[in-house]
Structure 1
Amino acid sequence: MRIELLGLLSLVLGGVVLLAPPRMAFYVIVLSTLFGAAAAFGVPGLGGASVLVPSLLLAFFCLRLFMAHGERPVFAAVSSSSPGIWLLLLTVYGVFSALFFPRILQGVTETMIVLRSSAGHRIIDLTPLSFSSNNITQTVYALGGLFCFAFTFAYLKRGGTARDVVNAMLVLAVANLVFALLDVVTYRTGTAYLFDFIRTANYALLTGSEKAGFKRISGTFPEASAFAGYTIVLFAFTASLWLDRMRSMTTGVIAGLLLLALLLSTSTTALVSLAAVMVFLSWRALPATGPHGVTGRPAAIALALLSVPLCFMLVLVFAPGFADGVQSFLDETLYSKLSSQSARERMQWNAVAFQVFLDTWGWGAGLGSARASSYALVLLSNVGLIGAILFALFVGNTLMLRSDAGRYERAATRAAKAGVFAGLCEAMISGTVYDLGLLFFILAGSAAALRSEPVAAGAGSRTRLETVS
């Protein structure tokens, strides 16, 4: 087992977390999600699979919350009154499928999976269905997502506040922007090796590519599309806060910079997801019909939408040469994307994934057994129709939650739901594996917990149950 530098630092930080207040544990787990390409250590027995820094710190986060509040709020997170009940059922079913389906259905179909060697090499290939290390790693990630949701819920029900969620996410957004800027600066100055210590996971690293003359921003992630998928969640969160007039100057500036970073990432997935998120936010901007009457800046949204084509035409008039660069950018990012080698490969993954769903009679091949390029097909090929329905119930119930707490809690709940929606959009377009990342489950847990006032630690069991429900 090879332990990385960040792995050692994470162990030290985890020890500090166990001695610190639970609030610090929450901030640490939120900020750790930024290091999407940082391995804490590798596991040779699983083909060199990497245990990421966020996954390691998640264990300390859960332990600290359990030490502080016990198991009661964790069980409340997955009770029948919470969307977490569907996530619990999905995870149980997914773990069962990972352990048994590849063995029961061995050889019935062929699936696209990641093949790892002990030397750290990874290839994606079509192989007959059988049990593999991918079933183990995806099972661990699935359990991690469930624990992240439940303990985030527990923290916010036992002393955590909506301000903690907002503050942590704003700090995370700023850190993401700083690393994005450093990524571009180190690339242009030939010092990209300075980022090597946070790019240690056993992933294919595509951090030095350009498109239409633009450096594709990858930040702390292994590639630009991963950075864009992460950044669009932060953009949706901060833009939602701005719409709700929460810290307008701060959230407006951060949301604008995140939008610029998304465009500079030149990720096709980001652009398509951004269109869906903007529709969602524009709908949110309409005058509310509920009792709280939040207006959501409809005039500002309409002005921004109308000003985009006007500004674009003015640029073309005063800088005609700019049109060629824009045309080249759009051609490489959108127009020629479907005919690219990458697009053809991903369409093949989807075709194989759907065939796996058919060959397994709708049951799926087992969690971690198949890879696709759309989260819908990932679900169908891995956990089948039952798993897809359970996931839809989990996300649907999360997005339909309404907060009956204070103004700050309502704004934070809406922002968390916007982040969940953005993460789901990105995954549906290009998600390749079951794991959606810890940030998705932190926001889902926050939305579920902030719909009502937090429960005091000394309150009676009856009061706790009434608040949760």
Structure 2
Amino acid sequence: MSFEPIGAITIVVGLFCLLFGTRSTVVAFVMFCTLGSAAALLLGGANVQPAHLFLVFLAISTLFWRKTAVEMLEALKITEPGFWLLCLVLYGVLSSYVMPRLFADETYIIPLGASAHLSTSDGAVPLGPVSSNLTQPIYLIGDLFCFLMIATVGSTQRGLETLATALIAYAATNIGFGILDLVTSATGTQEALQFIRNAQYTFHDEEVVGTMRRIIGSWPEASAFAGMTLGALGFTGMLWLCGRKPLVTGPLALLSLIFVVISTSSTGLVGAVVVLGLLYATALRRCSLRPQDRFSAATVVLGPLLLCLIVLLVLATDGVAARIYEYVDTLILSKAQTESGIQRASWNALAWRNFFDSWGLGVGLGTNRTSSFPLAVLSNVGVPGAVFYLLFILTVFGVRRGEPRSYPSDVRAAARVACLSLLTGAVIAGPTVDQSLLFYVFAGVASAWPERERRPAAPAAKLIPDTLALGQVRPALR
């Protein structure tokens, strides 16, 4: 076991946050979710990221009070998303041990972790236990507790406001790391970021596409940075449409979009189109329901005009259209013919075969690697896991009928858009069932319902008979 400097920083910050209260702990936890390339602890071949280590401090801060512990148990009721996520975790943990042994040598896999078998020329090995059969269940258990604790914190008005502030700060921090990545690369000072790039991953921090360097920010590769930035784009963009802190959320959404585009990630480029389309469709719907909504109206009217203006400027400027076409062709149109595209396609084809060879039960959580989240779910945890996950998502995205327009409802709507944004990136290039803690933070916010705590109390006239005189009321209340 190796205890890293960033791990010491995480523990010190956690102890200080416990002194300052739950709000500080929540904000710090969400901020630590940006450090996707860091390892607080190195346990053999496994990386314990700072955010996963900080879950301990979040649990202490959240579950210290009886009321929050009860709220956490309430989130596990069968009508709540937490129940279905718990079912997914239980099946995933069971499958990680049973399936690689039950179906041993029945099919070939692209191992996610270290395997005892020798690989073939394409990296495939016979099905059997791998090291990630231990680490992936741990990550998924962490996702469950993250979701439950975030949903618990968001069960109060103040807690939901804290989570919204923390996620806005996350978007700003993510952009900050993107800028820092550009600056350190331009000045040759990349070593300054090595203390947060210490995880045992394969880093792609020196790759270029044409003449553009790929931006990875605080993540191992450009696709991970772009995928996480899509979540920030969806959340801040939706808050801006709702008119919530527009002077902050608007610029953050615009900067997130810019960094997604210049990250040179095909995942980010395709995902950005989907997210922008989702935001525009949302603006159209909001305008039809509330014509006086100025931010949505501005988006509906100015969006197409701005797009036409950009297209005209591109066509009118010599060489720009050709450069943009070359960029899009490299990242998307010709992606399938590249070595990376061919490799990812072979992973997905083998994952699809794993699904059928395991009779739809999956080869076990954490067993194989794919390049698409739906195939990761089907091949790892099979039909049962896919059903549990779909029920979880449906209950997270379920909108209560008659829900009035309020700050909590706007934050929940923004969190739902962010979940869809992260899902878009995962569908394109998600390698595992684990979707990162950030996804479950957004899911927890989308499931939070602080309006429950403001149930009107029964009036005094209903509690005390009218015949009681004023002097008799006081003893009765005692």
1 CA distance for matches of 2:292 and 2:65?
36
2 CA distance for matches of 1:124 and 1:368?
19
* Farther off after superposition, 447-456 or 337-346: 447-456
Alpha-carbon contact 2:373-2:431 (below 8 Å) kept: yes
Secondary structure of 2:191's partner? helix
Count of residues in Structure 1 that have an aligned counterpart in Structure 2:
450
**2:39 counterpart of 1:50:** no
Alpha-carbon contact 1:91-1:146 (below 8 Å) kept: yes
Residue of structure 2 equivalent to 1:424: 423
Greater Rg, structure 1 or structure 2? 2
1 CA distance for matches of 2:37 and 2:292?
39
Secondary structure of 1:416's partner? helix
Secondary structure of 1:50's partner? strand
Alpha-carbon contact 2:291-2:297 (below 8 Å) kept: no
Residue of structure 2 equivalent to 1:23: 23
Tell me the percent identity: 33
Quote the offset at 1:324 in angstroms: 3.4
2 CA distance for matches of 1:198 and 1:358?
40
Quote the offset at 1:36 in angstroms: 0.3
Residue of structure 2 equivalent to 1:265: 263
1 CA distance for matches of 2:288 and 2:89?
35
TM-score (norm 2): 0.89
Quote the offset at 1:327 in angstroms: 2.8
Gaps of 5+ in 1: 118-122, 457-469
Quote the offset at 1:9 in angstroms: 1.0
Q: How does 1:308-387 map to 2 (within 5 A)?
A: 308-317=307-316, 319-387=317-385
What are the Cα deviations for residues 429-454 of structure 1, in whole angstroms up to 9, with x where unaligned? 11001110111101111111136344
Q: How does 1:156-175 map to 2 (within 5 A)?
A: 156-158=154-156, 160-175=158-173
Quote the offset at 1:74 in angstroms: 1.1
Secondary structure of 1:42's partner? strand
RMSD: 2.4
What are the Cα deviations for residues 229-264 of structure 1, in whole angstroms up to 9, with x where unaligned? 000000000000111111222211111111111111
Residue of structure 1 equivalent to 2:254: 256
Q: Structure 1 residues 79 and 455 mapped into 2: Cα distance closer, same or farther (>3 Å)? A: farther
2 CA distance for matches of 1:25 and 1:405?
30
Q: Structure 1 residues 335 and 406 mapped into 2: Cα distance closer, same or farther (>3 Å)? A: closer
Q: Structure 1 residues 450 and 208 mapped into 2: Cα distance closer, same or farther (>3 Å)? A: farther
Residue of structure 2 equivalent to 1:465: none
* Farther off after superposition, 358-367 or 281-290: 281-290
Q: Structure 1 residues 203 and 197 mapped into 2: Cα distance closer, same or farther (>3 Å)? A: same
Aligned partner letter, 1:452: E
What are the Cα deviations for residues 82-106 of structure 1, in whole angstroms up to 9, with x where unaligned? 1221111111111111121112222
| Corresponding residue to 1:68 among 60, 65, 69 | 65
Secondary structure of 2:202's partner? coil
Residue of structure 2 equivalent to 1:81: 79
Gaps of 5+ in 2: 116-120, 456-478
Quote the offset at 1:19 in angstroms: 3.0
2 CA distance for matches of 1:294 and 1:396?
30
What are the Cα deviations for residues 408-437 of structure 1, in whole angstroms up to 9, with x where unaligned? 111101000001111111111110011101
| Corresponding residue to 2:390 among 385, 389, 392 | 392
Quote the offset at 1:396 in angstroms: 1.7
Q: Structure 1 residues 455 and 42 mapped into 2: Cα distance closer, same or farther (>3 Å)? A: farther
Aligned partner letter, 1:313: L
Quote the offset at 1:16 in angstroms: 2.4
Q: Structure 1 residues 246 and 415 mapped into 2: Cα distance closer, same or farther (>3 Å)? A: same
Residue of structure 2 equivalent to 1:286: 284
What are the Cα deviations for residues 298-322 of structure 1, in whole angstroms up to 9, with x where unaligned? 44234223322332322432x3032
2 CA distance for matches of 1:133 and 1:455?
48
Residue of structure 2 equivalent to 1:147: 145
Quote the offset at 1:7 in angstroms: 0.8
Alpha-carbon contact 2:223-2:268 (below 8 Å) kept: yes
Residue of structure 2 equivalent to 1:209: 207
Alpha-carbon contact 1:113-1:124 (below 8 Å) kept: no
2 CA distance for matches of 1:185 and 1:259?
19
Q: Structure 1 residues 290 and 282 mapped into 2: Cα distance closer, same or farther (>3 Å)? A: closer
Residue of structure 1 equivalent to 2:436: 437
Secondary structure of 1:125's partner? coil
1 CA distance for matches of 2:71 and 2:280?
35
2 CA distance for matches of 1:328 and 1:216?
16
Q: Structure 1 residues 279 and 323 mapped into 2: Cα distance closer, same or farther (>3 Å)? A: closer
Alpha-carbon contact 1:83-1:397 (below 8 Å) kept: yes
* Farther off after superposition, 433-442 or 306-315: 306-315
1 CA distance for matches of 2:238 and 2:113?
40
Aligned partner letter, 1:308: L
